[in-house]
Amino acid sequence: MGFKLEPIPRVSGLDRATFEREFLKPRRPVVLEDFADKWVATEKWDMDFIRQIAGDHIVPLYDNSKVDYSKKVNEPIAEMRMAEYLDLLESGPTELRIFLYNIFKHIPELCNDFEVPDWAPRVLKQFPMMFFGGEGSNVFLHYDIDMSHVFHTNFVGEKRAILFDPKYKKDLYRIPFGVHNVEDIDIDNPDFDRWPALKNVSGMEAELHHGDTLFMPGGWWHYMKYLSGSFSLSLRALDPSPVRKLQGLYNVTVMRQLDNLARKVGGQSWIEYKDRWAVRRAEKGLS
């Protein structure tokens, strides 16, 4: 038995008033089927195109390894030429992923291949990020540290997205001083006996295909499962709420720095202490 999940609505033909009323202001996820319809990228970007323009780029690779106190946050496990990595994706399942990759620093003209519809919020176009993953790989459950809204457009393959409302952060066993949960929790097959607070949680899910754009409001938890080799583009938009902007600023400038310092001082003991803290907090008051 898994989480109680309802489908994320899929829409097209929105105008600004409808998007703001039904999704942006109430902070509801939605799959936008025509967000990227007019993009050059939607027609042009595929594995061969990326291989052609960036095949010799050295890219950082990540897998599903647990947090290692001796490494920095988001430190890659290896590096590889982009062309070799794409060959790997197309050859079959792999856990190796490219995470938060800004290819546009190297090839800025690619920014001409996409634009945000008039009805959407202004995005931070100087910070577009790309993500690549092989069949069977997943991105651990987390929320984005800067609390921005995200428009996440998928290319080529398919992936499954599972989202949880920020109100469930305690029941999801959120790690103190972090933006993820206890790593032993299997989102695909949750063990409700071992992690009883998860019984209080319900979520939303969608399968993303080529050209689909998932709107994730700031602070929403998300887990991504690559159903086939694919890549995606994330565009960020600042949350207009001053409180959430301050929360994002605190997360980046204070919370993460405190956690990095505690890792250096406490080592693995700090990692294990945070796990115990998350469990106590989630299960407090459960019968």
Residue 194: partners with Cβ closer than 8 Å, 6 or more residues away: none
pLDDT in tens, the chain (287 residues): 799 999 999 999 999 999 999 999 999 999 999 999 999 999 999 999 999 999 999 999 998 877 665 666 667 888 999 999 999 999 989 999 998 899 898 899 999 999 988 888 888 777 899 999 999 999 999 999 999 999 999 999 999 999 999 999 999 999 999 999 999 999 999 999 999 999 999 999 999 999 999 999 999 999 999 999 999 999 999 998 899 999 999 999 999 999 999 988 999 999 999 999 999 999 997 86
> According to the model, what pLDDT value does residue 120 have?
86
Domains defined along the chain, listed by start: 10-283 (2.60.120.650)
Using CA atoms, how far residue 170 sits from 1, 126, 200, 278, 282, in Å, is 21, 33, 10, 8, 5
pLDDT at 21: 96
> Positive or negative CA dihedral for 106, 110, 112, 118?
negative
Q: Given this model, what pLDDT does residue 71 score?
A: 62
**Which strands make up the sheet holding 97-101, listed edge to edge?**
10-11, 30-32, 213-216, 149-155, 230-237, 129-133, 97-101
Q: Round to whole Å and give the CA distance between 190 and 182.
A: 12
